[in-house]
Amino acid sequence: MVDCKDVNCPFHGKLTVHGRVFKGVVTSAKMHKTVTVKWERKYYLQKYERFETRFSKVKAHNPDCVKAKEGDIVLIQECKPISKTKHFVVIKVLNKQKGNSNQTIKS
């Protein structure tokens, strides 16, 4: 068990999660307890009758007990606004379950 004293943690703190859930890749984990998560979505262009790939990028809270690193595939969920640009929280790191997460990213 990780000793988690984060009040903005959905498991040990007082943060309640609700709303949409997204799966994305952590592109930056340099900020204090914050990660940037990016995922792709398909946007339909009526003129060409085809889909175009567009990206969504949001900042998400990274609690002590989750500790998502750069390159991780994470599950994020909407929550109350934690700061001006942050209204998502990382609820799960998905590639940790398979093991050897660092090796799979490099290769």
Judged by beta carbon, residue 4 or residue 58, the one nearer Zn ion is 4
- DSSP code string of 17-31: EEEEEEEEEEEE--S
Sign of CA dihedral 7, 20, 39, 58: negative
| Shortest reach from residue 45's CB to Zn ion, in Å | 42
Q: How far is the CB of 62 from Zn ion (least distance, A)?
A: 11
**Residue corresponding to tokens 């309640």:** 16
Nearer CB in complex with Zn ion: 65/105? 65
Alpha helices in the chain (DSSP H): 101-106
Q: Between 38 and 67, whose beta carbon lies closer to Zn ion?
A: 67
Q: Which residues bind Zn ion (CB under 5 A)?
A: 4, 9, 11-12, 63, 65
Least distance CB 9 / Zn ion (angstroms): 3
Query: Which sign, positive or negative, has the C-alpha torsion 23, 105, 40, 80?
Result: positive
Looking only at the bridges linking them, the beta strands covering 17-28 and 34-45 are antiparallel
Nearer to Zn ion, 7 or 100 (CB): 7
State in angstroms the smallest separation of the CB of 90 from Zn ion.
11
Q: Which residue has its beta carbon closest to Zn ion?
A: 4
